[in-house]
Amino acid sequence: MDNTDIYEEYPELREIMPRQPRRRKRRGMSNGGKLLILLVVMAAAAAILGLGLSLASGNTEIIYGADGAAREVPAGEVKKYLAEGWYASASDLTPVKLYAEDGTVVTARRGDADKLAERGYYADRAKAYTAMYNDDGRTLYVPNALTGTYKAEGWHDKLSDVVSVLYKSDGSKMTVPKAQAAAYIEDGWTDRLLKVAKKMVSPEGKEEMVFNDNVNAYLDSGWTIIKRVIDPDQPMVALTFDDGPGKYTPALLDCLEKNNGAATFFVLGQLANTYPDVIKKASEIGCEVANHTWDHLNATSAGAEKTAESVRRTSDAVRELIGKGTALYRPCYGAYNKDVLSAVNLPAIMWSIDTLDWKTKDADATYNAVTTKVYDGAIILMHDIHEATVNAALRIIPKLTEEGYQLVTVSELLEYRCGGAENAKVYFDTEDIQ
C-alpha cells in the first residue's frame, strides 16, 4: 500500500499554507494614496537594508516552509518556527518513503521522518520488514505483522533453515538449498563439519579447525588435536545413564574418552562407596555426575521431604569423591510433582529418546533405538548397569561421533542451546521445557 498523503492522518504535520492576499478591483489612486505607497516602499527598503545588515552580522537564519518558500528570521526565533512546522534545511523537504510493520508505505518530507518513526513509520525498511526464505531458493521481504502467515505457508525467517553448508575432507565447502543437500551427501559431501575436520592447537597456542586430509601434516608440525571442543553450531546429543555406576561402567568411560565424548551419569548415592574410582574417572574425563537419589526412591509416593533428603545425601556422597555436589536431578521412574521439584530445587532432567534397554536387555535393539531416532538436541536414556546396554553404547558412541554428533553432558547441551538449566524446572530436551 502506498499512501502518499500521510499528512491527512497527522494534520499537525500538514503543509504550512501561506496566507493569500485578497484581490481588489483596480481603480484610480489619489495623490494621498501615492504618497502612502511611497512611504511604505521607503519603510520596506529600510527594513530590507536592516535585515541585510543583520544577516551580515549573523543574527538571522534561513528557514523553509512546506511549500518550498524560504524565509529569513532572527536566529533566536528559529526554534519557535520549527515547532510551528517550518524546516531548518531545504533538504528537509525532500520526499522519502517510510515503511510500517503492517505493510503500509508512505511518502513524507525528510524533515518529518523522526516524528513519523515515533508512530511506527521507518526510513529503514529492515526495521519494519523481515527477510523470509523459501525452500526453493526464493527470498522475500515481508512486513513484520505478516511473518506468522508466511511461516504457516512454509517460509522461514532464518536462512539456515533452508540452506545447508556442505564440506569435504579436503577443505571444499559450498552452500546449497536443503532440498538439494541429500544428493550432494550421496556424492561424498557432508553437512557435519566434525565428520571431516578436527580442532587442533599449535605449539604456540593457536587454535584452528583442520580438515582431515591435512591433519597428519599438522601433527608432523607439532600441532595436537584438541579434545572435548564443543562447537555450538554443530549437532550435539546428551547420552545419559541411570542406576549406576556398575561393573560395566569402566568400559563405557574408556570408549567415551577414546572418542572425545562425554555423558551424564545419574548415579545412586548408595553405590558411590562401592564404585568410588568409577565416579572419579567419570569426572576426570569430563563426564557429568548427576543425582538419581540414594536408593532409587519414587518421589511421588515417598513425598517431597523424603525425596529432597535422599537427593542431598547422594550429593554429599558425590562431593566427597570429586569435590563438588550434583547439579542435576533425574526423578526415578520419571515420577515427580510440583512439591518434589520445589523441595529438591534442582533442574529435573527427563529424556526425549527412551531406549527401553532395561526391558529388552538386547544390544541390537538399544543400538537401533538410538541410531534410528537420534536428532540434534536429544537427551537419550540408558542404564549402565546392564551389560547389553554398555555393549550397545560401545557401538553407539563411535557411530554418533562418525556422524558428526558431539557427545556432550546434559548441562553442556542446555547451556549451549537454551542458556542453561533452571532449578525446579523439567527438561525433556532443548526444545521441550516445562
Is 354 a residue of the active site?
no
Q: What is the 3-state secondary structure (H, E, C) of 55-99?
A: HHCCCEEEEECCCCCEEEEEHHHHHHHHHCCCECCHHHHCEEEEE
DSSP element (H, E) containing 131: strand 129-133
Rounded to the nearest angstrom, the gap between the alpha carbon of residue 400 and the centroid of all alpha carbons in its chain is: 26
Helices (H), 208-332: 212-220, 249-258, 276-284, 299-302, 304-322
DSSP type of residue 421: -
Residue where the block lists cell 550397545: 392
Euclidean distance between CA atoms 260 and 115, whole angstroms? 58
Check 112, 242, 243, 384 and give the catalytic one.
242
What backbone torsions phi and psi does residue 397 show, to the nearest 5 degrees? -60, -50
Is 242 a residue of the active site?
yes
DSSP type of residue 233: T
Helices (H), 153-211: 178-186, 193-196
* Buried residues in 234-270 as b, exposed as e (16+ CB within 10 A): bbbbbbbbbbbbbebbbebbebbbebbbbbbbbbbbe
Euclidean distance between CA atoms 121 and 410, whole angstroms? 45
What residues contact residue 204 under an 8 Å CB cut-off, 6+ apart?
Answer: none
- For 58, the grid coordinates are 549573523
Rounded to the nearest angstrom, the gap between the alpha carbon of residue 318 and the centroid of all alpha carbons in its chain is: 35
Euclidean distance between CA atoms 388 and 356, whole angstroms? 12
DSSP type of residue 276: H
Check 383, 384, 386, 429 and give the catalytic one.
383
What residues contact residue 172 under an 8 Å CB cut-off, 6+ apart?
Answer: 189
Annotated catalytic residues are: 242, 383
